[in-house]
Amino acid sequence: MARLSLHAPEDWPEVLTTTQVAGLLAINRETVRQMIERHELPAARVGRLWRVAPEDVWPFVPPGIRARWPPGAWREPPAD
C-alpha cells in the first residue's frame, strides 16, 4: 500500500482505514480507535473494520499544513 501524505490530500482514497489515519497523523493505530470510541473522530463501522472520511481527519491536521492544501472535499467549510 502506498504511503499517504498530509501534503497531498488529493491522493487520499475516498475512505481511510484506521492504519492510514494513524500514518497520516503520526500516531498509534490504537489511539485512532480510542478517538473513534470517544466520538472525537467520526467513523463508520464496516463489518469489523472502521472507515474514516478524509474530511473528518481535517481537524487533526496542523493548521500550517492545512493552509497549503488545494481545494477539495477535505477542506474545511467556509466560516460564516
Cell numbers placing 70 = 488545494
For strands 16-17 and 44-46, give the pairing: unpaired
Residue that the C-alpha cell 490504537 belongs to: 30
Pull the grid cell for residue 38: 470517544
CA–CA separation, 42 and 16 (whole Å): 12
Q: What's the predicted TM-score (pTM) here? A: 0.80
- pLDDT over 80 (residue 2): no
pLDDT in tens, 29-49: 999 999 999 999 999 999 999
Rg (CA), the chain: 12
Q: Are 25 and 17 in contact (CB under 8 A)?
A: no
Instruction: Assign 8 a pLDDT band (cuts: 50, 70, 90).
Output: confident
Distance CA 8, CA 68 (A): 10
- Structural domains in the chain plus CATH codes: 13-57 (1.10.10.10)
